[in-house]
């Protein structure tokens, strides 16, 4: 029996000055939604994306990878999950993962670690948290004696609570039945007059349920993007993380200057990636290749030992040893 997930993907992209949904804004050549979907697919067997009114572009991007539910009015995160109740009621899964569609750095390792704690401690709700230097804009994790107590939205927080550095990522694990029981009990009695998913903590605890916060090892995973400046910050963090991963796998990168490698690119050990190289899509680079400078490749297959510079490859194959 697999678990299921709900991805909150109804953002309209107005602050991005985009003519499409916010979750379709790209990080390293892939929409943020794809990053989040990839994390979900590694940890659950079924996904529902809650989209905004007229979210046909998002549906098209999902291309059958997830069911969808529409949130025609944006009345809060709790309201968004309410739109997915028909989907949740059809599931046989014991647990539900909630993810934000505009938080592309939330990775499967963090989600899986949180789920392990969720199961071991028999929690009804486990929220993923992180400690950050500038918590402005995030809900605060309130603890008493070290034990998780509540999540307070920033606009409802007092001065003392606003000083808390541990914040809510917006990602949760729920027991499915506990979530379904809590959702109808939410109210909009708050400063934003919205239905916040964070209210489920109080509701579940009042019913005798167990709630906890799992602190992520890497605080970057909680970061989202509401404007272009935040988007480029996410992109740079993701770029560095991917470059580091390839170097750990035996790829030599003398300088990271001008290098952009997408999340689905495969580079075999022994390769050298020179400056000013862009590799995106499902590009595969074979063993012992030298790529760059000034190479752009999208969905390309580069054979073992190829030496490339000053070229643009799109949906092409380069033979092994070609120079």
C-alpha closest to that of 151 among 213, 206, 93: 213
- C-alpha to C-alpha distance for 36 and 170, rounded to whole angstroms: 13
Tokens of 223: 């970061």
Tally of CB atoms within 10 A around 235: 18
| Residue 254: other Cβ atoms inside 10 A | 10
In total, the chain counts a number of residues equal to: 323
Residues of the chain with CATH 2.160.10.10: 249-318
The pLDDT score that the predictor gives to residue 320 is: 83
CATH label, 249-318, candidates 2.40.160.10, 3.30.479.30, 3.60.10.10, 2.160.10.10: 2.160.10.10
Please write the tens of the pLDDT for every residue from 181-220: 999 999 998 888 899 999 999 999 999 999 999 999 999 9
| Cα(213)–Cα(192) distance, integer angstroms | 24
Q: Is 320 helix (H, G, I), strand (E, B) or coil?
A: coil
Instruction: Tell me whether the omega of the peptide bond preceding residue 293 falls within 30 degrees of 0, making it cis.
Output: yes
The confidence score (pLDDT) of residue 11 equals 84
How far apart, in whole angstroms, are the C-alpha atoms of residue 123 and residue 290?
A: 50
How far apart (Å, rounded) are the C-alpha atoms in residues 102 and 110? Answer: 16
Which residues are bridge partners to 49 per DSSP? 7, 68
Residues of the chain where predicted confidence (pLDDT) is lower than 50? none
* pTM summary value: 0.92
* C-alpha to C-alpha distance for 49 and 157, rounded to whole angstroms: 30
In CATH terms, 4-222 corresponds, of 3.30.70.260, 3.90.550.10, 3.40.50.720, 3.90.45.10, to 3.90.550.10
Q: Where in the chain is the domain with CATH 3.90.550.10?
A: 4-222
């Amino acid at each position: 029996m697999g678990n299921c997930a709900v991805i909150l993907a109804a953002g309209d992209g107005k602050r991005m000055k985009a003519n499409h949904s916010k979750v379709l804004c790209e990080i390293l050549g892939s929409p943020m939604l794809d990053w989040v979907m990839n994390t979900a697919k590694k940890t659950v067997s079924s996904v529902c994306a809650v989209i905004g009114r007229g979210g046909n572009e998002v549906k098209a991007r999902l291309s059958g990878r997830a069911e969808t539910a529409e949130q025609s009015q944006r009345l809060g995160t709790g309201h968004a999950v309410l739109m997915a109740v028909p989907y949740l009621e059809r599931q046989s899964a014991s647990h539900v993962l909630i993810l934000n569609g505009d938080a592309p750095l939330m990775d499967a390792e963090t989600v899986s670690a949180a789920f392990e704690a969720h199961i071991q401690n028999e929690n009804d709700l486990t929220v993923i948290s992180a400690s950050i230097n500038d918590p402005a804009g995030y809900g605060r994790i309130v603890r008493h004696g070290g034990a998780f107590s509540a999540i307070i939205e920033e606009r409802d927080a007092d001065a003392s609570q606003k000083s808390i550095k541990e914040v809510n990522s917006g990602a949760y694990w729920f027991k499915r039945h506990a979530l379904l029981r809590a959702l109808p009990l939410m109210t909009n009695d708050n400063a934003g007059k919205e239905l916040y998913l964070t209210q489920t903590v109080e509701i579940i605890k009042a019913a005798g349920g167990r709630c906890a916060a799992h602190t992520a090892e890497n605080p970057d995973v909680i970061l989202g993007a509401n404007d272009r400046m935040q988007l480029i910050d996410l992109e740079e963090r993701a770029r560095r993380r991917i470059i580091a991963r390839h170097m750990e796998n035996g790829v030599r990168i003398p300088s990271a200057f001008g290098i952009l490698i997408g999340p689905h690119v495969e580079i075999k050990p022994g390769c050298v990636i020179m400056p000013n190289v862009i590799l995106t899509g499902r590009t595969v680079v074979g063993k012992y290749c030298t790529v760059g400078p000034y190479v752009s490749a999208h969905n390309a297959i580069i054979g073992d030992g190829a030496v490339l510079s000053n070229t643009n490859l799109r949906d092409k194959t380069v033979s092994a040893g070609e120079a």
